[in-house]
């Protein structure tokens, strides 16, 4: 019997990366690889990296240093190598820098070429026996990787499904158009097939993924171009799927049929992540967001008219070059006005090659820190207030995870709030009615009714 090679995959960054990491595992399994949770006994270690902010990139280089120690120790103790691969967005953007700073890395590849992993690893294994060889694959291939990804044989109760990738919007702070390439939408038939398959193996909820997911414009099953709104109607017909979500959206791509979908489709959860980044028109314009704060507020209003119970989350960047105290105040004002129930907020991080990084009006680090603290204070207050409104209510929760304490499980409400409950994993995959007893900053606690 051949011994399975153990592969360790570490994902950084966004949900798209988590999806890619799962697909890498699915790709490798039929080729004699199994997944291991720790690098200690791995034959192959893959870092599936994120390039969005400097911090994420630093983490990759420090993790690489640790893997190198492990690799050297392994070779010294057992004369057995560990192949180190850097995939994902740092791989795509920093191929040359990685091979310079970390010459022990055996393979570098980007998010659009990982469907060739089995073939690339097979080439490398020749190397182990012979001379040192390194593979760097950061081309954007002509074929779509989606045509080569295998059908998974297992799924989470709450599954990701990538429907769109890449970005043509070129916000001035962002690396995504360079790391993920230009916008691509998968054909609707492929997506519907994958969604049906996921439902047939136990998925109850799917989150459609894309860097500009509402910019989806794939080939429909009638041969015409379909929007996200149109696609949602077909996905909602799939038996077994009870909840549908999509992320991440851009305000410019809110089209009529998407509002209609929110109005008509009960399975579409009443919670939308719609990043606004800033509440100042001056900064929105400088960021190249192509909309004003007012236009964003109108979108929110229109969505509320379509689905009264809808709630919102957003991403924010503080300390964008040229941001004044007044601009920052306008961001806080927009936050209060919308009443976001959840949000991610970041200090602006200059990224080489993006227009904003070259601006001379960079905001000092201490100012960014102060603004971030103030913004997060507002956001946390809103989030807690929303969580507290749930106390006493009975909500439907999909349980799918073990909690920290034994006999504690965690599930999600329609609004993505985590609910903890005393119970065991036999309840996973069920939608249960839970009476909420406590609302905290980041979670709710309740009891089954
Ligand atoms: N600095 C800080 N935050 C950033 N984001 C994207 N690029 C940067 C950057 N250079 C944030 C945005 C985006 C989220 C995914 O990451 O808020 O919506
Ligand atoms: Fe990070 Fe963006 Fe790449 Fe996701 S797409 S891994 S957020 S750089």
- Specify the pLDDT at position 79: 85
User: How many whole angstroms from 346 Cα to the centroid of ligand 1?
Assistant: 7
- Supply the angle between the helices 325-338 and 293-306 in degrees, to the nearest 10: 10
CATH homologous superfamily of 6-137 equals Methylthiotransferase, N-terminal domain (3.40.50.12160)
Q: Give residue 222's Cα distance to chain centre.
A: 30
Q: Is the minimum distance from the CB of 351 to ligand 2 under 6 angstroms?
A: no
User: How many whole angstroms from 37 Cα to the centroid of ligand 2?
Assistant: 22
User: How many whole angstroms from 357 Cα to the centroid of ligand 1?
Assistant: 13
Q: How would CATH label the architecture of 394-448?
A: Beta Barrel (2.40)
Of all ligands present, the nearest one to the C-alpha of 355 is 1
- Specify the pLDDT at position 360: 96
- Specify the pLDDT at position 227: 98
User: How many whole angstroms from 340 Cα to the centroid of ligand 2?
Assistant: 23
Atom of ligand 2 nearest to the CA of 52: 8
Q: Is the minimum distance from the CB of 52 to ligand 1 under 6 angstroms?
A: yes
Q: Is the minimum distance from the CB of 53 to ligand 1 under 6 angstroms?
A: yes
- Specify the pLDDT at position 38: 95
User: How many whole angstroms from 449 Cα to the centroid of ligand 1?
Assistant: 41
CB 89 within 8 A of CB 52: yes
Q: How would CATH label the architecture of 151-269?
A: 2-Layer Sandwich (3.30)
Q: Is the minimum distance from the CB of 174 to ligand 1 under 6 angstroms?
A: yes
In this prediction the pTM is 0.95
124: nearest Cα among 58, 49, 28, 40: 28
Give the domain ranges of the chain: 6-137, 151-269, 394-448
- The residue contributing the CA closest to ligand 2 atom 1 is 50
User: How many whole angstroms from 381 Cα to the centroid of ligand 2?
Assistant: 28
Q: Each residue's pLDDT tens digit in the chain (449 positions)?
A: 467 899 999 999 999 999 999 999 999 999 999 999 999 999 999 999 999 999 999 999 999 999 999 999 999 998 888 999 999 999 999 999 999 999 999 999 999 999 999 999 988 877 655 566 788 988 888 788 999 999 898 999 999 999 999 999 999 999 999 999 999 999 999 999 999 999 999 999 999 999 999 999 999 999 999 999 999 999 999 999 999 999 999 999 999 999 999 999 999 999 999 999 999 999 999 999 999 999 999 999 999 999 999 999 999 999 999 999 999 999 999 999 999 999 999 999 999 999 999 999 999 999 999 999 999 999 999 999 999 999 999 999 999 999 988 889 999 999 999 999 998 889 999 999 999 999 999 999 999 99
Three-state secondary structure call for residue 179: helix
Atom of ligand 1 nearest to the CA of 277: 17
């Amino acid at each position: 019997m051949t011994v399975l090679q153990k592969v360790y995959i570490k994902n950084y960054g966004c949900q798209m990366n988590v999806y890619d990491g799962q697909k890498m595992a699915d790709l490798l399994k039929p080729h004699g690889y199994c997944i291991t949770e720790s690098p200690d006994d791995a034959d192959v270690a893959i870092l599936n990296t994120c390039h969005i902010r400097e911090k994420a990139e630093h983490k990759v280089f420090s993790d690489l240093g640790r893997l190198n120690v492990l690799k050297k120790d392994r070779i010294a103790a057992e004369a057995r190598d560990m192949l180190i691969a850097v995939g994902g967005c740092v791989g795509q953007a920093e191929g040359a820098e990685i091979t310079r700073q970390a010459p022990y890395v055996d393979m570098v590849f980007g998010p659009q070429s990982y469907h060739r992993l089995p073939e690339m690893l097979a080439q490398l294994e020749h190397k182990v026996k012979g001379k040192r060889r390194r593979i760097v694959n950061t081309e954007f291939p002509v074929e779509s990787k989606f045509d080569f990804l295998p059908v998974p044989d297992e799924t989470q109760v709450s599954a990701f499904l990538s429907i769109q990738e890449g970005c043509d919007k070129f916000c001035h702070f962002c690396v995504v158009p360079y790391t993920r390439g230009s916008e691509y939408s998968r054909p609707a038939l492929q997506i519907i097939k994958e969604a049906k398959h996921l439902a047939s193996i136990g998925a109850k909820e799917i989150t459609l993924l894309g860097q500009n997911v509402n910019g989806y414009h794939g080939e429909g099953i009638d041969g015409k171009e379909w929007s996200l709104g149109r696609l949602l109607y077909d996905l909602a017909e799939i038996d077994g799927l009870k909840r549908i979500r999509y992320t991440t959206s851009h305000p410019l791509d809110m089209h009529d049929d998407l509002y209609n979908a929110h109005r008509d489709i009960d399975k579409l959860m009443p919670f939308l992540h719609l990043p606004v980044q800033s509440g100042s028109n001056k900064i929105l314009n400088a960021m190249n967001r192509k909309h004003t704060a007012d236009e964003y507020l109108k979108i929110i209003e229109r969505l509320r008219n379509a689905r009264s119970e809808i709630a919102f989350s957003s991403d924010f960047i503080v300390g964008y070059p040229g941001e004044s105290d007044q601009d920052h105040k306008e961001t806080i004002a927009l936050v209060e006005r919308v009443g976001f129930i959840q949000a991610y907020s970041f200090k602006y991080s200059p990224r080489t090659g993006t227009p904003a990084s070259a601006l001379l009006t960079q905001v000092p680090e201490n100012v960014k820190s102060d603004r971030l603290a103030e913004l997060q204070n507002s956001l946390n207050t809103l989030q807690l207030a929303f969580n507290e409104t749930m106390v006493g209510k009975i909500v439907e929760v999909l349980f799918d995870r073990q909690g920290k304490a034994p006999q504690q499980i965690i599930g999600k409400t329609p609004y993505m709030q985590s609910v903890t409950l005393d119970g065991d994993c036999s309840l996973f995959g069920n939608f249960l009615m839970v009476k909420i007893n406590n609302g905290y900053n980041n979670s709710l606690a309740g009891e089954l009714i």
